[in-house]
Structure 1
Amino acid sequence: MPSKPEVEGPALSAHLAALASAQDIDQLWRAHCDRMALYGFERLLCAFTRLTRAEIERGARGWVMLSTVPHGRAEPSDTFNDGLSDGRPGPRSWSLSRPGHHGDSHAGYTIFFRNAVSRVTGAIDLVARPGMSQRDVDRLWDLQGQEIAALNDVFHLKLMSLPCGPYRLTDRQREMLCHVADGHTTREIADLLGLTEATIEKHLRLAREALDARNTPQAVLHASLYNQIYMPKS
């Protein structure tokens, strides 16, 4: 049996430390992409949502997408799209069937993340560098697939802990939602902050609009799902 090749670059322990210490999504994504490139996967596309299908169909902006190419040119593999529908976790290999898809690259793997809660759906496309055939990629996966899959799982777990999402809240809107999440009424929040109830409701209304929420409890839910509350002030 062929021996496992050595991957040049930072030691695995140093890379894991870099993932664990990442303070934002950009820092995490750069570290992960750099590591995957060492294995031969030069183009990555990751997408996930914490909203239900019904919420997205009602127009909520629930998907978060990360890509190594401009988003206008980022197109997931057929395996990526099909796998999000069937919900089975784990890696799957694929080769391209459409000319020009992912530029010159034509082989790769898609990993569908395993999640402990039903509200999280996500996957990542790992696209091999040009010149690698699917046989080359499958051979690489036989030797190092377990390590690659584990690193992607660690990346995903860290990603789930960071503020993210298509939503942008002001510090004041975030503050109001924190008070609501703590169980305070509009009147109690007004008394705590020395503001009028009308002012509190105005900020909550703007927060609902920013979070595509139909009511304040749903606004708190969306903000919590994407780690948008209990954050340090910007």
Structure 2
Amino acid sequence: MSKQMEQAGVVSHLWLASTIKMLTLRAPVIAQCAEPGQFIHMRVADSYHPLLRRPFSIADADPQAGTISIIYRIVGAGTELLAKVKDGDQVNCLGPLGKAFELNCHKPLLVGGGMGLAPLLFLARRLCPRPVQVISGGRTAAEMVWPALFQPLCENVAITTDDGSVGRRGVTTDLLPKLLTDGQFDRIYACGPRPMLIGVAEITKKFKISCQVSLEEHMACGIGACLACTCSGTDGLRRKICSDGPVFWAEEVLP
């Protein structure tokens, strides 16, 4: 099914941390065809201010209930407006957009940093009942809302924080080599800051394990028309993150 414009009703809007919220929307058309790795492009207010829509990774989709969920951090004017919507309000969504993860694996390892863990949550649900493990990285314990969300879906959740306030002090790539040495993983999925993705790609290349990455980027149109969210591929050609991605094979877009 192609992308759809849908007026989505707010089912719930919950605080997960001081600057992080989970928004669940009744959007049955989008929920029916959404796949892990895809996103929605949302008008965050009932007006043309801000003018541009905002992209949000789909963190969950329930076709039977007709709902989708996003998890976002309040970082600017758009998300500040979105944070004010309440149960019963409606927001306009375009989606699902973008290229999804490929699920043809037997033992996956998910690696996420910060808000990059949001699309991996949907992925973990769709990968079940395969044995899923995840490395969850963040800055501090106060922002580490993810383990409680992943634990019902994964057999193991490893945690790193920049300051060591929970889990291991450091970053996700500090744990990755040992896990790849000890495990029998046949696919790595990663989403997060670009330096983390480059590190993951380098490590998985050494271990000769296939790796898909989801790139994060500011977007304007969200459908590949404006060329605002392009990146350079390893073949020298430009890629549109919104329509050619956001999911790519690591060797396509990372050194």
TM-score calculated relative to the size of structure 1: 0.23
Taking structure 2 as the reference length, the TM-score comes to 0.21
Structure number with higher relative contact order (C-alpha < 8 Å, ≥ 6 residues apart)? 1
More strand by share: 2
Report which of the two has the higher share of helix.
1
